[in-house]
Amino acid sequence: MANVRALAAKTLFQVVDKGQSLTAQLPYASQKLPVKDRALLQQMCYGVLRYLPSLENYCQQLLDQPLRGKRRVFQFLLYVGIYQLQHMRVPAHAAVAETVNALKSLGAPGMKGLVNAVLRNFQRQQATLEQSANEIVVCQYNHPSWFIKKLQAAYPDKWTDILEENQLQAPMWLRVNQRQTDTNTYAKQLDQADIDYTLDESHPDGILLDHPVDVTKLPGFSTGASSVQDAAAQMAARLLSPKDGDNILDACAAPGGKTCHILELADSQVTALDADEKRLERVTDNLNRLSLTAQCVHGLADEPDNWWQGEQFDRILLDVPCSATGVIRRHPDIKWLRRAADIDELAKLQAKILDNIWPLLKSGGTLVYATCSVLPEENHQQINAFLSRTEDAKHIALHAQDKVEQPGLQLLPGITDGFYYAKLQKL
């Protein structure tokens, strides 16, 4: 049987050192474990990624030199061990013993003395180590310095709030399928299932669960009564305002939550476009569970000549590739996979997609631009630049402060994820 701590160390090595996505690596590792251990694996991987700079700093103090080369995976095992001691409810003696025991699975019983000594020394020196790490900004906030600086510039009064939210577990929101039932009726079904929740009038299709639950426990989930989707993402379809008979493009559609939501709200003809053929399969899976139909198309949003059939769209949802800095709490590996240089490259791609998709929109049609980013370069600066170079694009205000100079709606991580929306009309 695979050892959960050994698997956590291997998974973290693949993410941090090899640049692999945790979303891809975690399911692969989980299948090697009994169901009861899978949540523990996720908790350890998420936790180490949330506190990586601090864990690295502690090991710098506790090791004569970092473990490199073939021994690099043991460095991550130390992070797993220290994370348990510092942040988990595992009894300290069990955390140390089980982490040392993981070396059998990693084929390195000879490392037991070192791993045991480091973890014991962390226990003895914990208060001092934490105090010294807290004097380093990157360790204090456990985010890369380039990102901290960008937030300080963009949100001088709120940057610490964003960083603190990123360290918390994300809330679980449901989207009620209005084709099957209404939100209040579904809420009563949750009452009967003893699932606690909160209703929020500003999100008419949404229900916020007090605690995350397994989807198999949700009433009617398998037959499409509800879906898991953050309230910020639920705003996309509502802002698009689909009407029966509309021809709609959902560009960059995978995994399909927004595609399905559009179809739940109106009898529209929807084209779901995505560049990733594998992820398009998830769009199909979601459509099938909800008994909905859309045309799924594999293609690049910035190269419509390769897939567009020539008929213009009434409405376009443009959920562009972005830094995903608004959903770090759901994907803590983003902090270590993203680089400062990526933001400029993403902004160029977003501009290209906007310019190349705009001709596909009918005169009088609506385009909703969306990102799950908190960075101005991808959001209001991007839309402001597009408006300045596009004569037939009209800005539609989404709230009282939504001005052409700083257009759109910026949501920061909190009760919802961090998202940005801008609404444009073609003259």
107 is in an annotated binding site: no
CATH T-level topology, domain 230-426: Rossmann fold (3.40.50)
> 325 vs 14, 76, 97, 317, 331, CA distance in Å?
21, 24, 36, 20, 9
Distance separating alpha carbons of residues 174 and 190, to the nearest angstrom? 11
pLDDT at 329: 98
Look up the pTM and report it: 0.96
pLDDT at 57: 98
Distance separating alpha carbons of residues 244 and 366, to the nearest angstrom? 15
Angle, in degrees to the nearest 10, between helices 52-62 and 72-87: 110
pLDDT at 245: 98
Counted residue by residue, the chain has a size of 427
117 is in an annotated binding site: no
Secondary structure, 3-state, 145-200? HHHHHHHHHHCCCCHHHHHHHHCCCCCEEEEECCCCCCHHHHHHHHHHCCCCEEEC
45, 139, 322, 372: the active-site residue: 372
pLDDT at 32: 93
CA dihedral sign of residues 33, 35, 40, 41? positive
Helix, coil or strand: residue 408: coil
Q: What is the pLDDT along the chain (427 residues), one digit of tens a residue?
A: 689 999 999 999 999 999 999 999 999 999 999 999 999 999 999 999 999 999 999 999 999 999 999 999 999 999 999 999 999 999 999 999 999 999 999 999 999 999 999 999 999 999 999 999 999 999 999 999 999 999 999 999 999 999 999 999 999 999 999 999 999 999 999 999 999 999 999 999 999 999 999 999 999 999 999 999 999 999 999 999 999 999 999 999 999 999 999 999 999 999 999 999 999 999 999 999 999 999 999 999 999 999 999 999 999 999 999 999 999 999 999 999 999 999 999 999 999 999 999 999 999 999 999 999 999 999 999 999 999 999 999 999 999 999 999 999 999 999 999 999 999 999 9
Helices (H), 31-71: 35-50, 52-62
* Tokens 């101005």, residue located: 376
Strand pairing report for 419-426 and 409-411: antiparallel
**Dihedral angle, C-alpha 287, 46, 43, 38, nearest 10 °:** 50
Strand pairing report for 313-319 and 409-411: unpaired
Q: Which residues pair with 250 in a beta bridge?
A: 272, 317
**Which amino acid would we find at residue 265?**
L
Known catalytic membership, residue 45? no
Q: Which CATH class is domain 4-140?
A: mainly alpha
Contact between 80 and 364 under an 8 Å Cβ cutoff? The reply is: no
> 349 vs 72, 137, 157, CA distance in Å?
35, 32, 30
Q: Which residues pair with 391 in a beta bridge?
A: none
252 is in an annotated binding site: yes
pLDDT at 29: 96
The domain limits of the chain are 4-140, 230-426
Contact between 357 and 251 under an 8 Å Cβ cutoff? The reply is: yes
Distance separating alpha carbons of residues 411 and 126, to the nearest angstrom? 37
258 is in an annotated binding site: yes
pLDDT at 2: 86
Contact between 10 and 26 under an 8 Å Cβ cutoff? The reply is: no
Q: Which residues contact 283 (CB under 8 A, 6 or more apart)?
A: 253, 254, 255, 256, 259, 272, 274, 294, 296
Q: Which residues contact 141 (CB under 8 A, 6 or more apart)?
A: 148, 160, 163
Phi, psi (deg, nearest 5) at residue 298: -90, 120
274 is in an annotated binding site: yes
- Classify residue 166 as left (phi > 0), alpha (psi -120 to 50) or beta: alpha
Distance separating alpha carbons of residues 233 and 259, to the nearest angstrom? 11
User: Helix, strand, coil proportions of the chain in percent (round to 5)?
Assistant: 50, 15, 35
